[in-house]
Amino acid sequence: MAKAAVRAGLVAVGLAWVLVAQVVLAADAKTYVLEGSKAAALESCVEPTDVMRRKHMELIKHQRDETVHGGIRSSKHSLAGCVECHIRSDADHVPQPIHRKDEFCGACHAFTAVNLNCFDCHASVPKGPGAEQASHAAFQAVGADRSVQARPDGEDH
């Protein structure tokens, strides 16, 4: 019985340290918004930062369900809207794939060790000029098995 109490106490202390470490890391995280993106010039996202950090996937899934099942198309919580606002371009004005480890989505997901699979199906660069070049860069950055290429007509594939 005493061993079980000691083990439980050690587990509780360990979990407390993990929680403290997460809080400290979150405080140090600052921001993943990159200079050169539209988001860098804004005061806040479509929701407060703490909500977006914790619930962005729920918001995106809800938007998907509204669009696919209800036919309701709005852009407030759309993945395409996120990409459009958070994408950054290089010196040649070529949009950089947002899921690369040094870009907005990729950096945060790498930091938190969360699998980022949105771009297995969705384009990682916005439609328009530079999409084909950026698509090629995405292919080079993450490899053929995980790349997403935007077709020249701007559609995901």
Per-residue pLDDT tens over the stretch 72-88 = 888 788 888 899 999 99
d(CA 100, CA 138): 7
Domain of 98 in residue numbering reads as: 30-145
Tell me the pTM.
Answer: 0.60
Per-residue pLDDT tens over the stretch 31-60 = 678 888 999 998 888 999 889 988 998 998
Residue 40: name the closest of 50, 53, 30 by CA: 30
83 domain residue, yes or no: yes
25 domain residue, yes or no: no
* Average pLDDT over the chain, rounded to an integer: 78
- Predicted pLDDT of residue 157: 41
| Number of structural domains the chain divides into | 1
Per-residue pLDDT tens over the stretch 104-152 = 999 988 988 989 888 998 899 988 765 555 555 555 555 544 444 444 4
- Predicted pLDDT of residue 156: 44
- Predicted pLDDT of residue 136: 58
23 domain residue, yes or no: no
- Predicted pLDDT of residue 26: 55
123 domain residue, yes or no: yes
15 domain residue, yes or no: no
